Structure 1
Amino acid sequence: MGLRRGGGPNPALRRPRPRCRTRLRCVVVTRVPAGQLASFLQFLYEAAGMTRAGARVMADTHVEADLRGIPGHGSRLAPGYLDKLRTGHLNPRPLIRIVQDEEAVLVVDADLAPGPVAARLAVAAAMLRARRCGIAAVTVRRAGHVGALGIPTAQLARRGLVGVAAAQASARSVALHGGTSTPVLGSSALSVAIPGPDQQRPVLVDLAAAAMSWGHLHHLARNGQTLPNGVALDASGHRVRDPNLAAALLPVGERGQALAIVLELLVGALTGSTPLPAGDDGRGLLVVAVDPRRLAVAQSLATGVAAVARAVRDQGARMPGDRAWSQRDQARQDGIALDANGLAALIEAGRRLNVRAPHGWIQPEPLDATSGSQKEQT
Structure 2
Amino acid sequence: MRIKANDEQQFLEQVFVKRGFSTVNSQLLAETLVDADLRGISSHGIQRLAWYLRMVDDGTIQPQNSVKTLKESPTSLFLDANQNMGQIACFQAMTSLIQKAQKSSIAMAVIKNSNHFGTAGYWARMAVKKGLIGIATTNTRPLVVPTNATEAFLGSNAFAFTFPADPHPFVFDGATSVVSSGKIQVLAKNKQPIPGQWAVDADRQVVKNADEAEDLLATAAFTPHQKGGGVLTLGGNQEQNSNYKGFGNSLVVELLTGILAQGSISADTSVGKHDFSQFLMVIDPGFFGDLKQLQHDASAMFQRIRHLKHLPHTEIKIPGDREYRRYAENQQNGVVVDEQTAKELHQIGDQLNISVPHAVSNS
TM-score interval w.r.t. the shorter chain? 0.7 to 0.9
- SS of residue paired to 1:113: coil
2:260 to 270, 273, 296: 270
Specify the SS of the correspondent of 2:194.
coil
Partner of 1:85: 56
Contact 1:177–1:251 under 8 Å retained in 2: yes
Displacement of 1:350 in angstroms is 1.9
Matched, 1:76 2:47: yes
- Structure 2 runs not aligned, ≥5 long: 217-229, 235-242, 309-314
Contact in 2 for aligned 1:134/1:295 (Cα 8 Å): no
Is 2:88 the partner of 1:95?
A: no
Unaligned runs of 5+ in 1: 1-29, 363-378
Task: Answer whether contact 1:125 1:138 (CA < 8 A) is retained.
Answer: no
Larger helix share, 1 or 2: 2
Q: 1:133 to 1:33 in 2, by over 3 A?
A: same
Matched, 1:223 2:223: no
C-alpha RMSD over aligned residues: 1.6
Letter in 2 for 1:225: Q
Partner in structure 2 of residue 143 of structure 1: 114
Could you tell me which of 9, 29, 50 is aligned with 2:21?
Answer: 50
SS in structure 1 of the partner of residue 337 of structure 2 = strand
Q: How far did 1:230 drift?
A: 3.0
Deviations 1:259-278 (Å, cap 9, x if unpaired)? Answer: 11211111111222223442
Deviation (angstroms), 1:236? 4.0
1:36 aligns with 2:7: yes
- TM-score, normalising length: structure 2: 0.86
Shift of 1:33: 0.6
Equivalent residue runs for 1:1-378 within 5 Å: 30-169=1-140, 171-179=141-149, 181-198=150-167, 201-246=168-213, 247=216, 248-252=230-234, 253-277=243-267, 278-279=269-270, 281-315=274-308, 316-358=315-357, 360=358
1:145–1:281 Cα contact (<8 Å) kept = no
Normalised by the size of structure 1, how large is the TM-score?
0.83
Cα distance in 1, alignment partners of residues 192 and 38 from structure 2:
21
| Residue 229 of structure 1: how far off its partner (Å) | 4.1
Aligned to 1:365: none
CA distance in 2: counterparts of 1:127 and 1:47, whole angstroms: 32
What is the aligned residue count? 328
Counterpart amino acid of residue 135 in structure 1: I
Give the letter aligned to residue 326 of structure 1.
R
Q: 1:106 Cα deviation (Å)?
A: 0.5
- 1:231–1:249: 8 Å Cα contact kept in structure 2? yes
The structure-2 alpha-carbon separation of the partners of 1:275 and 1:222, relative to structure 1 and needing over 3 Å to count, comes to closer
